[in-house]
Amino acid sequence: MPRWTFVTNHGAVLAIISHHGQVTAREIARDLGITERSVHRIISDLEEEGYIERQRQGRLNFYTVDHDMPLRRPESRDIMAGDLIRVLTQNRTLDPQSTGQDS
**Direct distance between the N- and C-terminal alpha carbons of the chain, in angstroms, rounded to an integer:** 23
If 0-12 CB within 10 Å is exposed, 13-18 middle and 19+ buried, where does residue 80 land?
middle
The reported pLDDT for the residue numbered 60 is: 87
Full-model pTM = 0.81
Domains and CATH numbers, the chain: 9-92 (1.10.10.10)
What confidence score (pLDDT) does residue 1 get?
63
Q: What is the pLDDT along the chain (103 residues), one digit of tens a residue?
A: 678 888 899 999 999 999 988 999 999 999 999 999 999 999 999 999 999 999 998 888 899 999 999 999 899 899 999 999 999 888 665 454 444 443 3
